[in-house]
Amino acid sequence: MSNSDENGAKTDAPKGLVGGPPTGDLDARIRAARQRGGYGEYKTEPKEHLSGHAKAARLGTEFIAAIIVGGFIGYFADMGLGTSPWLLLVMVLVGFVAGVMNVVRSAARMNAEAIITPKMDLGPDTHRDDADGK
């Protein structure tokens, strides 16, 4: 875990701006490389925010978690108020709705962020004209 192994090989190379020739013409070299081009495209290239696996990992638990939270709230409210089992039933339903909403909301955000490339297989009966990238 030390830097010496890779720095040791080039101890004679100057570090930073204090050095002479090796970095002295850095400005000119960067300008030349920019003129050759190909560097700007790297930044603008669209990238998916989450991989497919990461998306899948999100949705399942978001649904279940809301039901669990709803159930817990209902159960303890029932214990406190002595209205068993009505609040539990209501809150599990509310939790279910919240879970569906969680999933719909995350999926909508994923869809909005999705990048559709011309080569992508969108499944049968999809017309290219519909796919406006959103």
Does residue 95 interact with another protein by CB under 8 A?
Answer: yes
Does residue 53 interact with another protein by CB under 8 A?
Answer: yes
Q: Which one, 36 or 53, has the nearer CB to another protein?
A: 53
Q: Closest separation between CB of residue 35 and another protein, Å?
A: 21
> In this chain, which of 11, 16, 112, 133 binds another protein, going by CB under 8 A?
16
Does residue 70 interact with another protein by CB under 8 A?
Answer: yes
> In this chain, which of 81, 97, 108, 115 binds another protein, going by CB under 8 A?
97
Does residue 2 interact with another protein by CB under 8 A?
Answer: yes
Contact between 91 and 77 under an 8 Å Cβ cutoff? The reply is: yes
CA pair distance 112, 50, nearest whole angstrom? 12
Does residue 50 interact with another protein by CB under 8 A?
Answer: yes
Contact between 23 and 14 under an 8 Å Cβ cutoff? The reply is: yes
Does residue 114 interact with another protein by CB under 8 A?
Answer: no
Q: Tell me the H-state helices in 37-126.
A: 40-44, 52-81, 86-113
Q: How many CB atoms lie within 10 A of CB 42?
A: 7
Q: How far is residue 130 CA from its own chain's centroid? A: 25
Angle, to 10 degrees, between the axis of helix 52-81 and the axis of helix 86-113?
160
Which residues sit at the interface with another protein, rule CB under 8 A? 1-3, 6-7, 15-17, 23, 49-51, 53-54, 57-58, 61-62, 64-66, 68-70, 73, 91, 94-95, 97-99, 101-102
